[in-house]
Amino acid sequence: MKEQLQKDFDNTIRNLTLSQNDIEIKKFYLDNFINKGFPNRKEEDWKFSDLNQIIKKNIGELSFYSDYTSTNKVDSSAFVDGLEHNKIVFINGRIEKIDFDYEKKDQIEIIDQSETISKFNNNSSLSDLNSAFTNKSFKIAVKKGYQLTKPLIIYHTTNSKIWSKNINLRLNFELYENSSLRLIDLFRDTSEKNFLNIFYNFELKENSILKNYKVDKFENKNIKYSFNNIEQDKNSISETFILSSGSNFCKNEINCNLNGKYSSAFINGIFSLNNNKHHEIRTIINHLTENTKSYQLIKSVLEESSRAIYQGKIFVNSKAQKTDGYQLSKAILLNKDSEFNAKPELEIYADDVKCSHGSASGSLNEDSIFYLMSRGLNYQQSRELLINGFLLDVVEKITDSEVKNLIKNMIGIKE
């Protein structure tokens, strides 16, 4: 793999206009990655999902170079219907379109950061890989007091032009005081056997609000890793919703640093898996100052021989008195080959806190099915009704009604 990496790296560098210094930095990250390789089960964070093995088994040899010189045609029929929105379009990892048509132009700043190497606050091998190979990266800043009128949808589209490729994306967001942003990540893949490695960084200033929705709904054979780092100032709110369903393998990591008083973080997630899929959500909430709050709810419905993993950590340092942290994960195993693993973790150094977690996994409640069947539903209907209700609970946590309806329609959940 080393030679391949070196060769692909040289090709990638050739297409960029970087100073010698920046090239050195990128080389440094490349060497880091070559040393560490893809994470494997020996690392505690990857205990349940051995990415090295998964890539080997599903993809085999990866190539890290993508030719971004030619443009891809943006197919507007693929855009979400019935909801006016701003868009960023990635096709096969190439950024094709940034469009904030619905917003005041002077309130949103788009800064091309491709030529500046920003250090990412995460020293995993995947962030090294990302830093070494990201091609174009942008920073989107929402100015003080501006609240976007329409949500922003980021389309991650891949098509059959690529195969066995590693795609690295990076975006930075900065929300200034009193601003707000609604963001939807939408994955549409018609490609197979690629590895997407996505890093987002969010800076939330005082009183800003971020609503961050990730929708991986459509069936595909790709492998995805996404890392979101969210830094929160005083009074800011972040809300994250993850629908983890479509890809063959997907791991979403959310790292949330509650740096300012009264800041709060909400993370809700659904695993809806079938057919040998293997998905993971890992969350880390760091309560770093007093009076912060976090709430997490993760529900899974697992069919066939699928596997879901939830690792959630609540960290409270000794300054963070009056922390309120809550975490709940529930799973329904529908097939005897399905598997649910959880590692809900509390690490607490302050005494005046209220922290708790719960985790439950098991089969569908036969009593409830019996009840519904005795009311005239057949087995299949009863089962669907119960699962529907089970998942609806999480979708209802979405605070934005437009997005809530969009997601409800997408998963076909009825009220």
**Which residues form the interface with other proteins (CB under 8 A)?**
44, 318, 321, 331, 333-363
Of 222 and 294, which has the nearer Cβ to other proteins?
294
Q: Tell me the C-alpha distance between 221 and 246, whole Å.
A: 8
Residue 259 has φ and ψ, to the nearest 5°, of -90, -25
Of 51 and 301, which has the nearer Cβ to other proteins?
301
Q: Tell me the C-alpha distance between 182 and 152, whole Å.
A: 6
Of 110 and 360, which has the nearer Cβ to other proteins?
360
Of 246 and 325, which has the nearer Cβ to other proteins?
325
Q: How far is the CB of 390 from other proteins (least distance, A)?
A: 15
84 burial level (CB within 10 Å; 0-12, 13-18, 19+): exposed
CA 33 from centre of chain:
22
Q: How far is the CB of 217 from other proteins (least distance, A)?
A: 24
> Quick check: 187 and 215 in contact, CB under 8 A?
yes
Ramachandran quadrant class, 376 (left: phi over 0; alpha: psi -120 to 50; beta: rest):
left
Among 361, 367, 413, CA closest to 387:
413
Of 71 and 363, which has the nearer Cβ to other proteins?
363
Of 142 and 353, which has the nearer Cβ to other proteins?
353
Q: How far is the CB of 222 from other proteins (least distance, A)?
A: 26
How is residue 143 annotated by DSSP?
P
Residue bearing tokens 């922003």: 152
Residue type at 117 in one-letter notation: I
58 membership: H or E segment, kind and range = helix 51-58
Q: How far is the CB of 266 from other proteins (least distance, A)?
A: 20
Q: How far is the CB of 154 from other proteins (least distance, A)?
A: 33
Q: How far is the CB of 302 from other proteins (least distance, A)?
A: 8
Of 169 and 332, which has the nearer Cβ to other proteins?
332
Among 290, 281, 350, 347, CA closest to 314:
347
Of 142 and 273, which has the nearer Cβ to other proteins?
273
Q: How far is the CB of 331 from other proteins (least distance, A)?
A: 7
| Burial call 34-70: b when 16+ CB within 10 Å, e when fewer | bebebbbeeeebbebbbbbebbeebbeebbbbbebee
CA 114 from centre of chain:
22
DSSP per residue over 285-313, as a string? Answer: EEE-SSS-EEEEEEEEEE-TT-EEEEEEE
Q: How far is the CB of 415 from other proteins (least distance, A)?
A: 28
Q: How far is the CB of 325 from other proteins (least distance, A)?
A: 9
Kindly list the distances between the CA atom of residue 284 and the CA atoms of 39, 91, 258, in Å, as whole numbers in the listed order: 18, 30, 11
Of 81 and 352, which has the nearer Cβ to other proteins?
352
109 membership: H or E segment, kind and range = strand 108-112
